């Protein structure tokens, strides 16, 4: 009995499927960042082309391709109102790449697909420069190179293992050159640092907050920033004091909190100091911030002096924030000194006071009535009013929850204080600030992150999106702004012990926990995040200063850009010259008759004589006679002359090799017969 063997696909079909597979590897990392319609359209067209290749169906006509192109452009314009810009450009490049596969008929079309595939991979750096993205891009490059190697091997039936081995060897040979260029090439601002569409931040924090927004982020376990504490002789701060300051929100319309309309105009001059002073010793820290497409830094409260950030110009604001001059679109590292106990903004102008007492009229009447009762009860003692509100939160049956329910009421503070009595940090902070303002105490909301967890592998503190938090600041005479976290009154474990709320586990998560175990998962996550930080440290944050330090360690600290560029050019020219000399020597060492015969064999292979590489001149002449008959008479005569030159070179009738070359170029090759 014979064993069943898988059917061997025709070479053309196999080549097409290999190209389509490499295109799929290019598209898969893009799916997470493309609009849903673009991903669906691209994957459907690619699946359609795969089906046509497997079934041997004809490719679509020009009119259908034109309609698909018009659909792609029209949908892009509807989505982005333009075809210009990073987002719209990436969508178009992806769709054009897939459309090109629908008209792939010749080797020339495959080369265009390879070029578009490599270019599409570069656009992924506009989205992410993480280690996982780099691994996905490396696999896609490997697949494209394998398909490209296959396209340059028209003879035979190279196996997939052979193609992967050859392309992998090419990547290994190119790795040293890539490493030298990475370490020595002058550092410029990356292309992916260009400004992108506004309000597309990945952290979810922005210059505004609607009740319920941060609650959605609390279930996101992705990393927002990493912190290293490096103060000699000091222990890291306790978790309850780890407040990372983000946008400060002071304008309220009843449901929506936003930065003050003149917040950007209150930015201090670059050389000014913040109206704050540190009390006690400063805590040194270093933050590696993930890109969030906004201008503000996340700094540990309170960072009075300007943080040290490479190639960044930072601007302080009167709200104790630090801003960059352009959105943060790549991983950014900076160092700062924070005073966990500080005095801030002891002087408040009448304009600032009115701004932080602003409330929409006719909203939250029950909260306003309660605030007036507190004022009547405690008189001018603002501290007593604050303590009374916190005590009410602690003892009034309020609940800290991820699922406070959807509300359509315009009286958000009244609803929290008197009806629902449950909410997440933003509900609690918003209701507390409204109460303070109604009682005549200037107050505002600060958003950011609170807490963090220490990675036992590398000692870094990881702050996740689930640590997103909102708290309040109140202003007291002669004391200035004070941080009040009303969530702590409702759920002390949130800040004291960093016990986050978690959404119910899905079936997949429960299965993984049961099979692998939470402890193993935690250890794997810690190791992966440590590796990610090394990637950020060694690759993404390899700046001009790091390069200067490397040159200094190599004794090349006096080198300038022109020196490095000259040496790189010299090395490149030397390598090219070496390849050229080697190729020339190889050609000189090869028998000129064999080279000419090899060209003829290659031409005959492409013309349809399958065993041309194993036949001699006379055998090739017989094969040409069998294939094309008398139509190939000039070719047969030339092949017999080649045999005569090889084996009877001194005969008077034997033409010279130069004459045979001229005859070869003048040959008119028969056309392959159609079956």
Q: 3-state DSSP call for residue 534?
A: helix
Cα–Cα nearest to 487, from 419, 418, 416: 416
Phi-psi region of 148 (alpha: psi -120 to 50; beta: other; left: phi over 0): alpha
**DSSP state for residue 49 in the 8-state scheme:** H
Residue written as token pair 């396209």? 151
Cα–Cα nearest to 529, from 100, 42, 23, 130: 130
Cα–Cα nearest to 478, from 346, 343, 345: 346
The CA radius of gyration of the chain, in Å to the nearest whole number, is: 35
**CB neighbours of residue 74 within 10 Å:** 10
- Say how far apart CA 526 and CA 509 lie, in whole Å: 18
Residue written as token pair 């004391």? 479
- What residues are paired with 519 via a beta bridge? none
Residue written as token pair 């080649």? 642
**DSSP state for residue 488 in the 8-state scheme:** H
Q: Report yes or no: 427 and 471 within 8 Å, Cβ to Cβ.
A: no
Pairing of strands 468-476, 322-324: unpaired
Q: Report yes or no: 283 and 226 within 8 Å, Cβ to Cβ.
A: no
Cα–Cα nearest to 260, from 442, 523, 103: 442
Structure tokens belonging to residue 577 = 């010259």
124: Cβ contacts below 8 Å, ≥ 6 apart: 29, 30, 133, 136, 137
Structure tokens belonging to residue 675 = 């079956």
Q: 3-state DSSP call for residue 414?
A: helix
Catalytic residues: 425, 469, 485
Structure tokens belonging to residue 109 = 């079309």
**Angle ∠(661,666,668) on CA atoms, nearest 5:** 130
- Say how far apart CA 671 and CA 666 lie, in whole Å: 15
- Say how far apart CA 139 and CA 144 lie, in whole Å: 9
Structure tokens belonging to residue 125 = 């750096």
5: Cβ contacts below 8 Å, ≥ 6 apart: none
DSSP string, 310-357: TT--EEEBTTS-EEESS---S-EEEEEEE-SEEEE-----HHHHHHTT
Structure tokens belonging to residue 375 = 């004022």
CA 453 to chain CA centroid, Å, is 24
């Amino acid at each position: 009995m014979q064993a069943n063997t898988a059917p061997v696909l025709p070479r053309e079909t196999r080549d097409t499927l290999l190209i389509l597979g490499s295109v799929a590897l290019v598209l898969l990392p893009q799916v997470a960042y493309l609009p849903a319609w673009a991903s669906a359209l691209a994957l459907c067209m690619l699946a359609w082309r795969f089906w046509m290749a497997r079934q041997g169906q004809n490719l679509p006509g020009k009119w259908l391709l034109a309609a698909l192109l018009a659909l792609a452009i029209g949908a892009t314009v509807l989505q982005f109102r333009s075809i210009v810009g990073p987002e719209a450009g990436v969508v178009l490049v992806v769709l054009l790449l897939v459309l090109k596969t629908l008209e792939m008929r010749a080797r020339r079309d495959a080369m265009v697909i390879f070029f578009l595939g490599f270019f599409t991979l570069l656009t992924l750096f506009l989205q992410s420069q993480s280690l996982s993205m780099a691994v996905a891009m490396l696999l896609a490059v490997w697949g494209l190179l394998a398909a490209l190697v296959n396209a340059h091997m028209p003879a035979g039936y190279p196996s997939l293992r052979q193609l992967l081995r050859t392309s992998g060897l090419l990547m290994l040979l190119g790795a040293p050159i890539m490493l030298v260029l990475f370490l020595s090439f002058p550092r410029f601002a990356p292309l992916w640092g260009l400004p992108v569409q506004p309000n597309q931040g990945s952290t979810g924090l922005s210059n505004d907050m609607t009740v319920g927004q941060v609650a959605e982020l609390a279930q996101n376990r992705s990393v927002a920033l990493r912190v290293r504490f490096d103060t000699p002789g000091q222990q890291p701060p306790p978790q309850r004091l780890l407040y990372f300051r983000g946008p400060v929100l002071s304008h309220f319309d009843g449901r929506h909190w936003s930065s003050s309309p003149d917040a950007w105009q209150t930015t201090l001059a670059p050389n000014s100091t913040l109206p704050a002073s540190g009390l006690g010793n400063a805590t040194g820290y270093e933050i590696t911030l993930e890109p969030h497409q906004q201008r503000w830094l996340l700094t540990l409260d309170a960072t009075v002096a300007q943080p040290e950030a490479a190639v960044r110009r930072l601007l302080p604001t009167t709200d104790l924030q630090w801003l960059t001059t352009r959105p943060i679109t790549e991983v950014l590292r900076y160092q700062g000194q924070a005073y966990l106990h500080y005095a801030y903004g002891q002087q408040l102008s009448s304009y600032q006071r009115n701004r932080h007492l602003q409330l929409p009229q006719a909203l939250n009447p029950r909260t306003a009535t309660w605030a007036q009762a507190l004022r009547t009860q405690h008189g001018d003692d603002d501290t007593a009013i604050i303590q009374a509100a916190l005590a009410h939160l602690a003892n009034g049956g309020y609940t800290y929850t991820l699922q406070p329910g959807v509300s359509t009421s315009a009286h958000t503070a009244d609803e929290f204080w008197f009806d629902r009595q449950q909410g997440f940090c933003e509900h609690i902070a918003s209701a507390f600030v409204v109460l303070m303002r109604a009682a005549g105490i200037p107050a505002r909301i600060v958003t950011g992150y609170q807490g963090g967890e220490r990675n036992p592998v590398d000692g870094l503190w990881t702050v996740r999106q689930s640590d997103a938090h909102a708290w309040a600041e109140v202003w007291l005479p002669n004391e200035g702004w004070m941080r009040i976290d009303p969530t702590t009154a409702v759920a002390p474990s949130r800040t004291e012990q960093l016990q986050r709320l978690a959404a119910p586990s899905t079936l997949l998560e429960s299965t993984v926990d049961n099979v692998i175990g939470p402890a193993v998962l935690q250890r794997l996550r810690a190791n992966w995040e440590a590796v990610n930080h090394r990637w950020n440290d060694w690759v993404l944050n390899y700046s001009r200063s790091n390069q200067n330090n490397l040159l200094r360690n190599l004794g090349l600290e006096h080198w300038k850009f022109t020196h490095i560029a000259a040496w790189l050019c010299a090395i490149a020219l030397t390598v090219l010259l070496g390849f050229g000399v080697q190729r020339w020597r190889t050609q000189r060492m090869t028998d000129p008759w064999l080279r000419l015969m090899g060209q003829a064999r290659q031409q005959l292979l492409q013309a349809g004589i399958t065993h041309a590489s194993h036949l001699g001149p006379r055998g090739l002449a017989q094969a040409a006679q069998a294939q094309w008959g008398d139509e190939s008479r000039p070719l047969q005569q030339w092949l017999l002359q080649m045999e005569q030159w090889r084996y009877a070179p001194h005969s008077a009738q034997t033409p010279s090799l130069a004459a045979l070359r001229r005859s070869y170029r003048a040959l008119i090759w028969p056309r392959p017969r159609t079956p």
